[in-house]
Amino acid sequence: MHIVIIGNGIAGITAARNIRKLSDHSRGAFSDQITVISGETDYFFSRTALMYIYMGHMRYEDTKPYEDWFWEKNRIALVRGYVEKVEPAQKKLIFDDGHEMAYDKLLIATGSKSNKFGWPGQELGGVQGMYSFQDVESMEYCSDNIQHAVITGGGLIGIEMAEMFHSRHIPVTFLVRESSFWDIVLPAEESEMINRHLRKNGINLKLETELKEIWGPKNGRVRAVLTSTGEKIECQFVGLTVGVSPNVDFLHFSGIEMDRGILVNEFLETNVPDVYAAGDCAQLREPPTGRRPIEAVWYVGRIMGETVAHTICGHRTKYDPGIWHNAAKFFDIEYQVYGTVLPKPPAHHASLYWEHPGGSRSVRIVYDKNTNAVLGFNLMGIRYRHEVCDKWIREGARIETVLQNLAIANFDPEFYKEYEQDVVALYNQQTGQNLQLKKKRGLAGALEFLKATTT
């Protein structure tokens, strides 16, 4: 059987590795032929590390999780090329150079592409997003001639691009449509913390300001932008970081059902037999409670890749992403979220929010007012253990239980200052209770907790 995977990102490669393991176990060594197709790079790399290549912290070869010999040893064929058309009726792919490839089962894991919203001048040189390896190469090519960069879009990719330019001492103006950075995701206090931190790092943050036009000579390079406030900003680079969308344009007229992404059921199957989708390009017809139909997040791609491998190998397995979590970095402020933390919470959500006087660390614990069950954690500049927070949320642990045992969640290095006592003291002050923080902490305390059942 020939299993073809389009896309060598985390979803496609996780699927390929797991298909190899499963098919060898059930049908004998290397019984299935596996081919991975990518037009981006020859080998799988860590997309989350792209910014560090530009910043000089890593080389491209340092971002490859596997040695180049790994693929041949595991009989996973790698093909560099772009698929232009999928013909499910004939079970074949047509590449942009005209050659064809047959398949028995097909996994589409083509990821995302940067959004463009039809701005005048968006096709000028020096105007781009930041998603692919080629995007970083293009930024590198342009950088020697950039005196000023403008970035539009108030999300994580925009922050990454701003930090990349900041590392080269290139001045940045950051246009954010909203009244505060990423306030469609972050509660007000955390959003304001990032506003302050961006400005502290020398980023010219302009809130409630949108990109209106991009100016430059026809077929030339950008020279300036015009904003929604009427301001003209001279620049030699414009970063379009207004989100991403599924990379599925080549599938039109294929008969594979799509909305924004490729529509899949709980087994990641499309409407076409023997065709599956996983990762950023997949759109769940019925997402699990509390999850979105499309989630362009690294760990989601990994879970989808592992799940669909089982189904492709004949063991139909439902996709279960578990409790929502994510992590990012705003310059040197680390960010973690577990569970449900909403910027505009419903009436039955209560929130304990502690912020360090320095203004760059905070802990938010969200819980249900009616049951006191913890619903989510939002952390800035402080790290908590994923497994511990996940267990508390899954088991509906009460806020009092969580606070008394908060030290076991702390994941910061041994000699970092601890703030759990301050969080508990704030809760006592607000509620009139007298909760005491238990002494057990660190890895030993966490492991002991994870073996036990929350009371």
Does pLDDT of 139 surpass 60?
A: yes
| pLDDT for 413 | 74
Whether domain 127-242 has CATH 3.50.50.60: the reply is yes
Q: What is the DSSP secondary-structure string of 316-383?
A: -------S-EEEEEETTEEEEEEE---SS--TTEEEEEEE-TTSS-EEEEEEETTT-BEEEEEEES--
| pLDDT for 449 | 77
Q: What's the CA gap between 110 and 81, in Å, rounded?
A: 12
Cβ atoms of 270 and 262 within 8 Å: the answer is yes
Mean pLDDT, the chain, integer: 94
| pLDDT for 442 | 67
Does pLDDT of 25 surpass 80?
A: no
Q: What is the DSSP secondary-structure string of 52-120?
A: HHHTTS--GGGG-SS-THHHHHTTEEEEE--EEEEETTTTEEEETTS-EEE-SEEEE---EEE-----T
Range in 23-32, 34-43, 80-89, 171-180 with the lowest mean pLDDT: 23-32
Range in 26-35, 204-213, 298-307, 371-380 with the lowest mean pLDDT: 26-35
Does pLDDT of 220 surpass 50?
A: yes
Cβ atoms of 33 and 77 within 8 Å: the answer is yes
| CATH of 2-113+245-312 among 3.40.50.970, 3.40.50.720, 3.40.50.11390, 3.50.50.60 | 3.50.50.60
Q: Where are the domains of the chain?
A: 2-113+245-312, 127-242, 325-451
| pLDDT for 289 | 87
Does pLDDT of 92 surpass 90?
A: yes
Cβ atoms of 35 and 3 within 8 Å: the answer is yes
Q: Hey, what amino acid is at 28?
A: G
Outline where DSSP puts E strands in 256-332: 262-264, 275-277, 282-284, 325-330
Cβ neighbours around 112 below 10 Å, total? 22
- CA-based nearest residue to 298, from 272, 325, 268: 325
| pLDDT for 455 | 43
Say which residue, 152 or 23, is predicted with more confidence: 152
Q: Do domains 2-113+245-312 and 325-451 have the same CATH topology?
A: no
Say which residue, 444 or 361, is predicted with more confidence: 361
| CATH of 325-451 among 2.20.28.120, 3.40.640.10, 3.30.390.30, 1.20.1050.10 | 3.30.390.30
What is the tens place of the pLDDT at every residue in 235-270? Answer: 999 999 999 999 999 999 999 999 999 999 999 999
Cβ neighbours around 292 below 10 Å, total? 13
| pLDDT for 454 | 45
Cβ neighbours around 228 below 10 Å, total? 14
Q: What's the CA gap between 403 and 422, in Å, rounded?
A: 11
What is the tens place of the pLDDT at every residue in 399-434? Answer: 999 999 999 999 987 778 889 999 999 999 999 999
Outline where DSSP puts E strands in 133-184: 149-152, 172-176
Q: What's the CA gap between 301 and 321, in Å, rounded?
A: 10
| pLDDT for 438 | 87
Q: What's the CA gap between 24 and 15, in Å, rounded?
A: 14
| pLDDT for 417 | 87
Angle 273-312-97 from CA coordinates, rounded to 5°:
70
